[in-house]
Amino acid sequence: MIANFFNQTRPINFLVLSILVLLVFLSALTQGFEGEASLLFFIRSGIFLFAAVLTVFVLNFIIRKNALCEDNSYAVLFYILFWGIFPASLLNGGAFVSNFILLFAFRRLYSLRTSLRTKEKIFDSAFWIGIASIFYLWSALYLILVYAAIWLFRRADWKNILIPLVGYLTPIFLAYTYLLAFDDLDRFTSIWTFDLTFDLSQYSSFRFLLPIVLIGLLFIFSIYPTTKKSLLAKIDFKSTWQLLIVHTAVSMLILFIAPEKNGSEFSFLFFPLSIIFANFLQILEKYWIQEGIIYLLIISLILIHL
């Protein structure tokens, strides 16, 4: 029933998805609430909720514009369920803002499959990554994705190789200039502290172990058939899918080296995994398996919140 409902992109789908975002956000906020409810708290929460709802529409635009999935809402649904399974992804300001900004970088990167305004797209994607890295430093690793896109979409002339560096450094230079004007360079220095840890002991708790095992198994079962199908597709989608695989690898790298292992680091995997899982559901012939996958994620979400 759920799989059938989200099998198409209709206005009612986005109304339901927006309500689901609200429920997931309120649940995460209730779980993570500490201290007193102040005016600043409500303003910040309102801004984050607005950004979360806006994410639904931006994500759908990226998917439709670049034909990353068929005409359905599976990817957006998976993205929202991931928020619910890892509620810290909505509560950690740095990771949440960084992921929201990165959507605009991904929008430009995946559109490189067309030859229109190539240099502009490369600069814009690196520019957004530069802004995102100010909020979450390890977002800078997505520069790897920019160069992967340049190579995969055959845009590798010498000017295009230099553009990402210029695009990335532009917002950083502007941030430095702004903080220099206010004599607050200590804040700028604190941003560029490359903390990392490989300690994964936090993931042994139930609230992490259950979704990690479930999503990990789903990824293992989905990556081969979806990749096999993409190899038979047109050359532009083949390159897009290869970029998505690189995207997943870079996101996993950020996950493993993230300085804080509180669940928010998983948010960097939401974009590529949502698209991979959506494509997996599309090629499944048995309806009950589609339903089962979605229900398993929903049950996992409920168990974690209980």
pLDDT band for position 229 (50/70/90)?
A: confident
Taking each helix axis as running N to C, give the angle between helix 206-231 and helix 270-283, from 0 to 180 degrees, rounded to the nearest 10: 60
pLDDT for res 36: 64
Higher pLDDT, 3 or 51: 51
* d(C-alpha 197, C-alpha 257), whole Å: 5
Considering only the C-alpha atoms of the chain, give the largest distance between any 2 of them, rounded to a whole number of Å: 62
Nearest one of 270, 202, 268 to 63, comparing CA atoms: 270
- Structural domain range at position 185: 2-305
Packing angle between helix 143-152 and helix 93-110, nearest 10 degrees? 10
Nearest-angstrom CA–CA distance, 279 and 243: 15
pLDDT at residue 1 tops 80:
no
Q: How much is the pLDDT for 206?
A: 85
No. of helices (H) and no. of strands (E), the chain = 14, 0
Taking 70 as the threshold, does the pLDDT of residue 64 lie above it? Answer: yes
Specify the number of domains making up the chain. 1
Higher pLDDT, 100 or 186: 100
Find the radius of gyration of the CA atoms of the chain: 19
Confidence band, pLDDT 50/70/90 cuts, at residue 245: very high
Give pLDDT tens digits for 254-287: 999 998 888 999 999 999 999 999 999 999 888 8
Q: Is the pTM of this model over 0.85?
A: yes
What pLDDT was estimated at residue 144?
Answer: 96
pLDDT tens digits for range 84-93: 999 999 988 8
Count Cβ atoms below 10 Å from residue 139 Cβ, excluding itself.
25
Q: Helices 11-32 and 39-65 meet at what angle, rounded to 10?
A: 140
